[in-house]
A = this chain, B = another copy of it.
């Protein structure tokens, strides 16, 4: 009998805890599994011997609440493992795993987390360790390859679509011509910004203009698009990805402010909405405001998708199943087997092929550089369906927090 350890890594999502729930539930069911440990703050915290016994410490009620709690219950980290698999780091980690009698290691995360799973599984192979390493996908960005979509995207997309629909109503109350720029998350991939198209209530409705980082963004074209849109409607809502850039590769947000770099070398982008707001005010002389939806896109539980929650949980339990069946160095993936009605099956893919890759919105789903196609809507719509029954207390959603 071996023990399980599970960790969460990278940015929070509305459903990363549903995947944790799936891992715990499935692992506790198995007679081959003893304890189910959780790393506190991912691999970084585990290096500092921070972990908890999830099977022992969580009550039945807390476990159910965990499934509906956004963010990352175990805490997270952004920790890049050494490239050199003979580094002392790996020796330390494997000693700690062996001390806890770990047989199965699950890491819930995005690109960078799959890089962690890849390195650990390759290191195990080289050193004859039989610990199995499994990746459970998670990212609101929906940019992992070899999977139809990722857990976390559906809820973020639903939050974006419903919030943009409300902003459209809010922006339409006055008679005066006005532009509202909504800045959405997405450094390289426009999946989340594309989801704003779901907000439309009828053909031609706002958001009238949608710009993804997959297309070059030029201020002159933007001005022309905007003038054309303002001929049709007094209130124009524009949705832009934070990561839009021009043909020279310069980010629009860099037009206005400095860019910072996180410890993975990623640029921390904020502010293209503000840059465009300024541009419209000064160059076009139209009433304008910008709205940055910010972190609520990834952590809002109020408007999360039941489909996403259930799929995230299923990805977690599927990970345990394939680990018990002998797999290692793989990520759980989603295969769409039907669109009407929507059907999805789990599969596994080689994690080494996935890490450090990015899946953009296909060029054929982008229309005129300022909209998305019906094909995208058909793809995205099933992912935002259904609402969980959320426990409320004193008028607010009740969430599980680590004591």
- Which residues of chain A have a CB within 8 Å of any CB of chain B? 8, 12, 41, 44-45, 69-72, 75-78, 158, 161-163, 165-167, 169-175, 198-199, 201, 255-257, 260, 262-264, 266, 268-270, 274-275, 277-279, 282, 291-292, 294-296, 298-303, 305, 381, 384-387, 392, 394-397, 399, 401
Interchain nearest-CB distance for A184 vs B (Å): 13
Interchain nearest-CB distance for A197 vs B (Å): 12
Contact of B305 with A395 in the complex, beta carbons under 8 Å: yes
Contact of B303 with A282 in the complex, beta carbons under 8 Å: no
Known: A75-B175, A268-B275, A291-B296. 4 other contacts (CB 8 A): A45-B175, A165-B396, A384-B394, A386-B395
Closest to A40 in B: B175
Contact of A174 with B75 in the complex, beta carbons under 8 Å: yes
Within the complex, which residue of B12, B71, B173, B255 is in contact with A263, where a contact is CB–CB below 8 Å? Answer: B255
Closest to A292 in B: B292
Contact of B282 with A264 in the complex, beta carbons under 8 Å: yes
Contact of A399 with B165 in the complex, beta carbons under 8 Å: yes
30 A-B residue pairings within 8 Å (CB atoms): A41-B175, A70-B166, A71-B166, A71-B172, A72-B173, A75-B174, A162-B397, A163-B296, A165-B396, A166-B301, A166-B302, A167-B299, A170-B299, A172-B401, A198-B396, A199-B396, A201-B401, A255-B262, A255-B263, A256-B260, A257-B260, A257-B268, A262-B278, A264-B279, A264-B282, A266-B278, A268-B275, A291-B296, A292-B292, A296-B296
In the bound complex, residues from chain B placing their C-beta under 8 Å from that of A169 are 12, 69-71, 299, 399, 401
In the bound complex, residues from chain B placing their C-beta under 8 Å from that of A386 are 395
In the bound assembly, the distance between CA atoms of A72 and B292 in angstroms comes to 22
In the bound complex, residues from chain B placing their C-beta under 8 Å from that of A199 are 396
Contact of B167 with A295 in the complex, beta carbons under 8 Å: yes
Within the complex, which residue of B44, B69, B260, B296 is in contact with A175, where a contact is CB–CB below 8 Å? Answer: B44
In the bound complex, residues from chain B placing their C-beta under 8 Å from that of A277 are 269
Interchain nearest-CB distance for A44 vs B (Å): 7
Contact of A268 with B264 in the complex, beta carbons under 8 Å: no
In the bound complex, residues from chain B placing their C-beta under 8 Å from that of A282 are 264, 266
In the bound complex, residues from chain B placing their C-beta under 8 Å from that of A291 are 294-296
In the bound assembly, the distance between CA atoms of A385 and B394 in angstroms comes to 7
Closest to A395 in B: B384
In the bound complex, residues from chain B placing their C-beta under 8 Å from that of A395 are 158, 161, 198, 305, 381, 384-386
Contact of A166 with B296 in the complex, beta carbons under 8 Å: yes
Complex A-B, nearest 8 residue pairs according to Cβ-Cβ distance, in ascending order: A71-B169, A170-B299, A384-B395, A256-B262, A76-B173, A385-B395, A72-B173, A291-B294
